[in-house]
Amino acid sequence: MSTTTVPASTAQHPVPRDLERPREVVRHLGPNWFASVMGTGIVANAAATLPLQFPGLRTAATVVWAGAALLLLVLAAAWTVHWIRHRDIALAHGNNPVMSQFYGAPPMALMTVGAGALLLGKDWIGMDAAVAVDWTLWLAGTVLGLLAACTIPFRMITRHKAAPDAAFGGWLMPVVPPMVSAAMGALLIPHTPAGQPRLTMILACLAMFGISLFAAFLVINMIFSRLVHQDMPAAGTVPTLWIVLGPLGQAVTAAGLLANAAPVALPAQYAHGLAVFAAVFGVVTWGFAMLWLALAAAVTIRTARTTGLPFNLTWWGFTFPVGTCVTASSGLAVRTGADLFHWAAVALYVLLLTAWAVTAFRTGRGALRGTLLLPRPPLPRPPPLAEAVREPGSRSRDRGPLAVRYHHRLPLPLRTPDDLTRRHHGGT
């Protein structure tokens, strides 16, 4: 969800010179653009599950879902052209230690739109067509999501050397898709043939729940450690802190939906156990999500007041993760009957709508002007990032109390994948 910042001289032109030819529009199109489909789709899906319903809400939500579906088609076509005509750049995105993280966005975009077809689209296209669309998009998203969850961490281990302050919210993007598969797959369990196919489906969803849950906890720990032990994140990456809410809210949502589907797929004792688990696990995890929401909001406000918060595609991190908290709160409201979750869902949905409206408007404006479709302009090579300073009493991981302690300084604003890449590789 990273993007570029363009010099004032270039930004003055409604359509930058480099984008006058239509084929140039897709030249630098990265997988991070699919976050816009995720953010738009969750606005619709969250409205469908909101405990507070009123006339016109479902119709409006269905219109938004249709918009997300259209956006998915446009981006899928554009990204295909990008891979055909600019394969070198597409491969470079895959090898980039930052941009590659966002290969988790396309599978989640597919499954978000698929779930919307079953929740809302059935009103327009019929149940049979909605189920067919959901199955197709869920299967494609699940395969791509599992591939991302395996390959991206493997490449991080074997090819990328991360600096101590490299961890950011984007590291969660490759490991969250299996959780989305678990949640969205639960909606398809009643539409799976009874017997072994249905049993296999719910067990697969539970397994993917575990894959994403434990992987996300590992990454969240690294992100928090980076926040505590290093300097404040660069302004351009602060919105990615909100991505932490994604696996938390989606885990609560998945637990609830799987518990709802369990009676038709599992023996009674296991179905009852999942119902208890959904309530207890859901409330506990929801509490931690609200803590992280407060921390992320505080860091965001502080950054906006001190250095400013430049717009880029990371702002879509304000949408989908908050949307998962809406669906989590809505599910807990139904399961527990507590007014706390009822009103929390409504308040979070208002926050989601606000974030989506601002981000969608600014993304649309940037896309029309072309500024979001340009590569980062060349920057002068910065001086070395690490300066050795010996501090009495300081400790390192491998040496004693007088070991050298390194302070990393970033002389230029960190705004784009290339900036982050430089940081990953220690300034090289």
Distances from the Cα of 261 to the Cα of 1, 240, 258, 277, angstroms: 33, 32, 5, 14
Opening angle at CA 329, ends 323 and 330, nearest 5: 90
> Rg (Cα) of the chain, in Å, rounded?
22
Q: Which residue has the tokens 């669309």?
A: 133
Q: 5 lies in a domain? A: no
pTM attached to this predicted model? 0.83
Q: Is residue 347 part of a domain?
A: yes
* Residue carrying structure tokens 């270039």: 10
Exposed e or buried b per residue across 244-257, where buried means at least 16 C-beta atoms within 10 angstroms of its C-beta: bbbbbbbbbbbbbb
Rounded CA-CA distance 107/178 in Å is 9
Q: Is residue 411 part of a domain?
A: no
For the chain, what is the largest distance between any 2 Cα atoms, rounded to a whole number of angstroms?
A: 71
Domains: count for the chain: 1
d(CA 38, CA 114): 11
- The DSSP symbol for 389 reads E
- DSSP output for 60-89: HHHHHHHHHHHHHHHHHHHHHHHHHH-HHH
> What is the phi/psi pair of residue 239, to 5°?
-60, -25
The parent domain of residue 171 ranges over 23-369
Residue with tokens 């993280």, as numbered in its chain = 101
Tell me the pLDDT of the chain (428 aa) as tens digits.
444 444 443 444 444 444 555 567 888 889 999 999 999 999 999 999 999 999 999 999 999 999 999 999 999 999 999 899 889 998 999 889 999 999 999 999 999 999 999 999 999 999 999 999 999 999 999 999 999 999 999 999 998 888 888 999 999 999 999 999 999 999 999 999 999 999 999 999 999 999 999 999 999 999 999 999 999 999 999 999 999 999 999 999 999 999 999 999 999 999 999 999 999 999 999 999 999 999 999 999 999 999 999 999 999 999 999 999 999 999 999 999 999 999 999 999 999 999 999 999 999 998 888 788 776 544 333 344 444 344 444 444 343 333 333 344 333 444 444 554 544 544 44
Measured between alpha carbons, how far is residue 2 from residues 9, 112, 415, 427 in Å? Answer: 22, 21, 7, 19
Q: What is the CATH number of the domain that holds 329?
A: 1.50.10.150
**Residue recorded with tokens 């300097």:** 231
